[in-house]
Chain A
Amino acid sequence: MTDPLDPELKSLLQKWEIDPPAPDMPARLIQAALSQPQEKPWHIEAGENLKRAFTDWQYAIGYKLAALAGFAALGLGIGIAAGESLDVAGVALMAGLGG
Chain B
Amino acid sequence: MRVFLDMADGGPFTIQMTSLLTDEQLMTQVARADSAAFRYLAGRHLTRAYAIAFRLLHSREDAEEVAQEAISKVWQKAATFDPARSAFGTWFYRIVTNAALDRLRRRKAPAENLDDHAEALRDMAPTGEDLRIRADETRRIKQAMAALPPTQQMALTLVYYEEFSQAEAARIMNITTSALEALLFRGKKGLKQRLTA
Verify that A and B bind, or say they do not. Answer: yes
A38: chain B residues within 8 A (beta carbon): 31, 33, 75-76, 78-79
B123 at the interface (CB under 8 A from A): no
B159: chain A residues within 8 A (beta carbon): 3
A22: chain B residues within 8 A (beta carbon): 60, 64
One of B11-19, B102-110, B133-141 contacting the partner: B133-141
A17: chain B residues within 8 A (beta carbon): 138
The B contact surface, by secondary structure, is helix
Question: Are A29 and B79 neighbours in the complex by a CB distance under 8 Å?
Answer: no
Question: Are B137 and A32 neighbours in the complex by a CB distance under 8 Å?
Answer: no
Question: Are A40 and B79 neighbours in the complex by a CB distance under 8 Å?
Answer: yes
B154 at the interface (CB under 8 A from A): no
Are A39 and B42 also in contact (CB < 8 A) when A19-B60, A26-B47 are? no
**B47 CB to nearest chain A CB (Å):** 7
Q: Interface readout for A66-84 with B: 1 if CB under 8 Å, 0 if not? A: 0000000000000000000
Question: Are A44 and B79 neighbours in the complex by a CB distance under 8 Å?
Answer: yes
Are A25 and B160 also in contact (CB < 8 A) when A5-B188, A32-B72, A39-B77 are? no
One of A8-16, A50-58, A89-97 contacting the partner: A8-16
Q: Quick one: closest A residue to B64, CB to CB?
A: A25
One of B21-29, B85-93, B161-169 contacting the partner: B161-169
Q: Quick one: closest A residue to B32, CB to CB?
A: A38
Are A26 and B78 also in contact (CB < 8 A) when A18-B51, A34-B38 are? no
Query: Complex: how many Å from CA A37 to CA B79?
Result: 12
Given A18-B51, A30-B39, A36-B75: 12 more A-B contacts, CB < 8 Å: A1-B165, A1-B166, A1-B167, A4-B184, A10-B160, A12-B141, A21-B60, A25-B67, A26-B43, A30-B42, A30-B46, A33-B42
Q: Which 5 A-B pairs have the closest CB atoms?
A: A33-B72, A16-B141, A33-B75, A18-B54, A21-B50
Contact surface of B with A, Cβ cutoff 8 Å: 31, 33, 35, 38-39, 42-43, 46-47, 50-51, 54-55, 60, 63-64, 67-68, 71-72, 74-80, 134, 137-138, 141-142, 145, 156, 159-161, 165-167, 177, 184-185, 188, 191-192, 195
